[in-house]
């Protein structure tokens, strides 16, 4: 298995532009997580899905952020409009339900908003 796949790996955009980050989870996994990581705040859970349904989006910072999971093999995280403070590394992770469900992380997308 190729693991969790994220694209793009790097994104540089200007303030006010729309940004879309993409994630393909490991086949068969039924949980998908979106995280944001910065030096100041560490890893923060933004939202997670179970069987394509958003379960907890309390970590989404504001209405500019939205996430979708139209099917079991694809998810997007959209920021519109983007702001410089959104600059961070965004990780997608997936796991299989169960008592010991290990989260497998993708390589991350480094977002820079100028």
Partner 1 sequence: KNQVEQSPQSLIILEGKNCTLQCNYTVSPFSNLRWYKQDTGRGPVSLTIMTFSENTKSNGRYTATLDADTKQSSLHITASQLSDSASYICVVRGGTNAGKSTFGDGTTLTVKP
In the complex with partner 1, the residue whose CB is nearer, 65 or 91, is 91
Q: How far is the CB of 75 from partner 1 (least distance, A)?
A: 15
Separation between Cα atoms, residue 83 and residue 100, nearest integer Å = 37
| HEC profile of 63-84 | CCEEEEEEECCEEEEEECCCCH
Q: Among candidates 41, 26, 29, which has minimal Cα distance to 90?
A: 41
Binding mask 36-55 for partner 1 (x = CB under 8 A): ------xxxx--x-x----x
Is residue 88 within the footprint of partner 1 (CB under 8 A)? no
Using the Cα atoms of residue 45, residue 37, residue 108 and residue 85 in order, give the sign of their dihedral. Answer: positive
Size of the site for partner 1 (CB under 8 A): 20
Binding site for partner 1 (CB under 8 A): 4, 31, 42-45, 48, 50, 55-56, 91, 93, 99-100, 102-103, 105-108
């Amino acid at each position: 298995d190729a693991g969790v796949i994220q694209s793009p790996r790097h994104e540089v955009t200007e303030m006010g532009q729309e940004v879309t980050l993409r994630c393909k989870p490991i086949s068969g996994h039924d949980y998908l997580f979106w995280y944001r990581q910065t030096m100041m705040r560490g890893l923060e859970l933004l939202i997670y899905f179970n069987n394509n349904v958003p379960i907890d989006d309390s970590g989404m910072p504001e209405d500019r952020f939205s996430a979708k999971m139209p099917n079991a093999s694809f998810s997007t995280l959209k920021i519109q409009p983007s702001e410089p403070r959104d600059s961070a590394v965004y990780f997608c992770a997936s796991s299989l339900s169960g008592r010991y469900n290990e989260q497998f992380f993708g390589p991350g997308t480094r977002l820079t908003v100028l």
